[in-house]
Amino acid sequence: SAHKGRQSNRSKPQRTVQDALKAVEAATDNLGISREGCKKHELYVSFRDLGWQDWIIAPEGYAAYYCEGECAFPLNSYMNATNHAIVQTLVHFINPDTVPKPCCAPTQLHGISVLYFDDSSNVILKKYRNMVVRACGCH
């Protein structure tokens, strides 16, 4: 059970916003609008669009991806849920007021390398960690 204190100090206006969100949520659930489960979506970062191809030699851009989707009961196997996320999902399912659904976020990130000129036309090849989503999951 979540700490009761949370309920008491929640101000009235906050309540109505929460209620409105819940109403929308219930409505979409009832209409059977199936929200997509947590998964990876495409997102391309273009150095060309930033106008940087005069000093960035390679790459022209890279596929960064992003994570989006619902972490709702029942969590499917492809949602890479942590044990904690599974429990949190159940508690949310039983009583949505106590805790929110878990978050859909990257579970694996990969790096990229960028080759570019510095001001004195020396060339730098640098590896950058955690730039590309490899997998998403419920946290």
Partner 1 sequence: NFSVDNEVRSSFIQRRLRSQERREMQREILSILGLPHRPRPHVHTKQNAAPMFMLDLYNTISTYPEPPGYSYYKPVLPTQVSPMVTPQDSRFLDDADMVMSFVNLVDQEQDLLYQQHRREFRFDLSRIPEGETVTAAEFRIYKDFIQERCENETFRVSVYQVLQEPPNSEVELLLLDQRDVRAAEEGWLVFDLTDTSNLWLVNPEQNLGLHLVLEDSNGQGWNPQLAGLVTGSGPQDKQPFMVAFFKANEVRFRSIR
Q: Which is nearer to partner 1, 9 or 120 (CB)?
A: 120
Binding site for partner 1 (CB under 8 A): 42, 44-45, 50, 52, 54-55, 57-63, 65, 110, 112-128, 131-132
| 8 exposure class (CB count in 10 Å sphere: 0-12, 13-18, 19+) | exposed
In angstroms, give the least distance from the CB of 37 to partner 1. 20
For residues 1 and 121, which CB has a smaller minimum distance to partner 1 in the complex? Answer: 121
Rounded Cα gap, residues 38 and 79, in angstroms: 6
User: Toward partner 1, which CB reaches closer, 1 or 122?
Assistant: 122
Q: What is the enclosing helix (H) or strand (E) of 124? A: strand 123-138
